[in-house]
Amino acid sequence: MESLGQQLKQEREKKGLSLKEISLQTKIGLRYLEAIENDQLELLPGGFFTRQILKTYLTFIGQEPKAWLAKYQEAGLLLVEPPASRISKPKKTPGIKVNNIAWIILTVVVMSLFIGLIYLSIKSSRQAVKSPAASKTAVVIPVTPIEPRAETKEKTKKTEAEVQPYQGLDLELTFNEDCWIQVYADGNLVIDGLKLEGYKTSVKAKSELRINLGNAGGVSFILNGRPGKPFGKRGEVIKNIKITIDNLSQFVVAEKPS
């Protein structure tokens, strides 16, 4: 029977992916990827880091991380994470007992300070009452309305002109599952790496967006204020998705006629 690592190697080769390509895209060391496919998980950092490396690798080759992690646990190659309730709490170290006399002295000192503060507060209040009262007569100064200057009017016009809807491409991404992604805005790489479930981000471009995905069904998006169509299926690897101002209607849900 083939080992878990050999099964994953076959799934990777079906996708036409090399370990070097996965290492470059996910930033996972090549020796860790080789250790996974050779069933040598003891060479990985261990604990949380081993799980994250496995999940990133599995997601990139289009496999379900939860199912495979369960297989590793059944095979005894991956430890089960202990529930929070089972984590032992550190025992409290008994404090040093203080002599009763010391407690009495400390209490007397604190009470003396408290009484002194009350006395100072009462004294300050009496001095404030004795001070001459402020004049109650209010002086009314007529206010002449001031016409806005020409500079203020020009600034207002500029502000109104600046508050205009974005004329290019405005992409809002929401990750419903762990997903590896690359996004180029007008040829510049702006997003790169693994994004975990629940992460949200946005990208703007003047004329073109290019996207590479390791789990096309794990991300949803809004493009220029309109909900987008799914990029692909869950676990599907899709590269070179090109979105421009001319073809953005292909990627969004059609508006219903009013």
- Per residue in 165-181, pLDDT (tens digit) is 568 999 999 999 888 89
Q: By the 8 A CB rule, do 216 and 236 touch?
A: yes
* Spatial distance between the Cα atoms of 113 and 109, rounded to a whole number of angstroms: 6
Provide the H-helix boundaries in 131-180: 150-162
Contact 235, 63 (CB under 8 A): yes
Residue 194 has a pLDDT of: 85
Q: Which of 12-16, 66-70, 120-124 has the lowest mean pLDDT?
A: 120-124
**pTM, to two decimals:** 0.44
b/e burial code for range 117-144 (CB count within 10 A of at least 16 → b): eeeeeeeeeeeeeeeeeeeeeeeeeeee
Strands in the chain per DSSP E? 169-175, 179-185, 188-195, 200-205, 208-213, 219-223, 226-227, 238-244
Confidence check: pLDDT of 80 > 70? no
pLDDT per residue over 152-161, tens digit each?
556 655 555 4
pLDDT at residue 240 tops 80? yes
Name the amino acid, one letter, at 160: E
Q: Long-range CB contacts (< 8 A, 24+ apart) of 68-71? A: 68/4, 68/8, 71/4
Kindly state the percentage of the chain with pLDDT values over 90.
Answer: 43
